[in-house]
Amino acid sequence: MSFSDTGGQHSGPVEPVSQLGGTLPGLRGLDHIGITVPDIEQATRFLVDVLGCEYLYTLGPIRNDDGRWMADHLNVHPRAVARTIRFFRCGPNPVLEVFEYSAPDQRTEVPRNSDVGGHHIALYVTDLDAAVTFLRHRGVDVLGDPTSSGGPHAGQRWVYFLAPWGGQFELVSYPDGRAWYLEHGSGDR
């Protein structure tokens, strides 16, 4: 039985990679991260005016009023509508694909990191303290004070903050590198 045959549930031991025929062919890196927000205009203002991301372009709406395309291709309710999809770049990193959906079965509670499906988006900054001060002056909910990491991440400091819709973001900074990466000659990351 393959992973998809179980509805996303894995029911047995994980097979060694050698038995599965290797890894994903042609993998080159992370291209983009998609998130869904309740208000695309609010998200745009936050991403561009507060965080400094670059707005790239807009798509949408995407819908299928008669068939199952939305369910079959995007795993959403068949009558779901991706009203607006906007793309942003935050420095040279992967792109953020930001959706505003409407759907008959839409849940609106933002998952916490500890919830299944929970997530956060980490942004690298050169001066963590200046970035935290900036966010607080802009009224952004910064969660606690910066934390210094240990172990493999020694050399890194980080802090979480919340987007206006409750989405979780993190600021990270390691201007002199992080222990594991330095020890293994993998550059600054």
Beta bridge partners of 81: 102
For the stretch 15-47, pLDDT in tens is 555 566 789 999 999 999 999 999 999 999 999
Residues 6+ apart with CB under 8 A from 147: 157, 158, 159
Which residue ranges in the chain fall short of pLDDT 70?
A: 1-20, 187-189
Measure the CA–CA gap between 91 and 75, rounded to whole angstroms. 30
What is the reported pLDDT for 20?
67
Neighbours of 159 (CB within 10 A): 21
* pTM for the whole structure: 0.85
What is the reported pLDDT for 22?
87
Closest C-alpha to 100, from 18, 39, 177: 39
What is the reported pLDDT for 14?
56
What is the reported pLDDT for 15?
58
Query: Nearest 5 degrees, angle CA 175-CA 181-CA 183?
Result: 110
